[in-house]
Amino acid sequence: MTNFLITIIGPTAIGKTALSIKLAQHFGCEILSCDSRQFFKEMSIGTAVPNLRELASAPHQFIQNKSIFENYSVGDFEAEALQKLDELFQKNNIQIMVGGSGLYVDAILKGFDDFPEIDLKIREEINTKYDELGIEFLQENLKKLDPEYYSKIETENPQTLQNPQRMKRFVEVCLGTGKPYSSFIGKRKNQRDFTPIIIGLEADREVIYDRINKRVDIMMAEGLLEEAKALYPNKQLNALQTVGYRELFDYFDEKISLDEAIEQIKTNTRRFAKRQMTWFKRTENTKWFDYQNDISQIINIIETTIHNS
């Protein structure tokens, strides 16, 4: 029997959670979250974790199952999620994955490429240089060692240029192998024992932006300020380098006013949504629907796809 992974993608605040629950109820299956910030149990309001009613409406996996104090990479998620899917497919050959983290979606659908082992001395040297010179050291080196990949990140996923962990990895591969990081991408074909059915939700940009602005206001009303204040002593952790928290940390540091912080959360979330759409529009074989589309049409497309496979 063929296994099918219904994968719901789209920008933040467009209604992916609501659709995933309706589909899980229809197909009698579970929901695997691949939102890279909803993994963390200390972060609820700012990551738009499904509420208790939503969590009770269908079984969810990978929601608040980790701590911000754990080192949890996309590679860790890939391994754990594939193992969980193996278990779930034994109960039902249809399962659902949902989330707005494009890298994590790709990890499950396609997997990662093989990279050679890097000498620990090189890693230590890069860490030392980073501690001395900051993120600019990593940016300058990647731009020099792999200009093609640097340009790709700058265009499609610019926030990655501010992510020390990932930038260190790119640079260490370049220095450790003498080859561009991009030369290792796409060399290995990962086998998956399921067929993805990818459903994309979209809307006019103005609609998405309006939904984001309203969601931020709701988050503030629900206590995002207090949640961020509790997390503030650990603001250096990688998990907290996230829109919705960073801006409030700047408020606590008296760099900006609270009104400015809220406005920056809205602006940065809108930018994030734009980058999400750029990423997801490249996802092959996606069936796109307006966010208000009747769910019966989506179910019909999914069932027809399964029937014809």
309 residues of the chain, pLDDT tens digit each: 899 999 999 999 999 999 999 999 999 999 999 999 999 999 999 999 999 999 999 999 999 999 999 988 888 899 999 999 999 999 999 999 998 899 899 999 988 777 777 888 898 899 999 999 999 999 999 999 999 999 999 988 888 999 998 999 999 999 998 999 998 887 666 789 999 999 999 999 999 999 999 999 999 999 999 999 999 999 999 889 899 999 999 999 999 999 999 999 999 999 999 999 999 998 999 999 999 999 999 999 999 999 998
Q: What is the pLDDT of residue 309?
A: 86
Q: Can you tell me the distance from the alpha carbon of 32 to that of 215, in angstroms, rounded to the nearest whole number?
A: 23
Residue 155 in marked binding region: no
For the whole model, what pTM was predicted? 0.80
Q: What is the pLDDT of residue 243?
A: 95
Residue 17 marked ligand-binding:
yes
pLDDT of residue 191: 84
* Per-residue pLDDT, 82: 96
Report pLDDT for 257: 98
Which tokens hold the place of 111? 């997997």
Describe the chain by its helix, strand, coil percentages, rounded to 5: 55, 10, 35
Contact predicate 78/165, CB 8 Å: no
| 46 known ligand binder | no
Return the closest-CA partner of residue 46 out of 235, 286, 301.
235
Would the annotation count 200 as a binding residue? no
Residue with tokens 């193992």: 83
Do the Cβ atoms of 3 and 194 come closer than 8 Å? yes
Domain 120-184: top CATH class: mainly alpha
Looking at residue 189, what is its pLDDT?
60
Residue 73, CA distances (Å) to 21, 39, 97 in order? 26, 11, 18
Q: What does the domain layout of the chain look like in residue ranges?
A: 4-112+190-308, 120-184
- CA-wise closest residue to 182 among 156, 139, 147: 147
Cβ partners under 8 Å of residue 119, min gap 6? 176
* Residue 49, C-beta contacts closer than 8 angstroms, at least 6 positions apart: 38, 43, 63, 64
Residue 2 labeled ligand binder: no
CATH level 2 (architecture), domain 4-112+190-308:
3-Layer(aba) Sandwich (3.40)
Q: Confirm whether residue 11 is marked as ligand binding.
A: yes
Give the model's pLDDT for residue 188. 63
**Residue 246 corresponds to which tokens in the numbers above?**
């960073």
pLDDT value of residue 75: 82
Task: Calculate the CA 298 to chain-centre distance.
Answer: 23
Alpha helices, DSSP H, located in 237-291: 246-252, 258-280
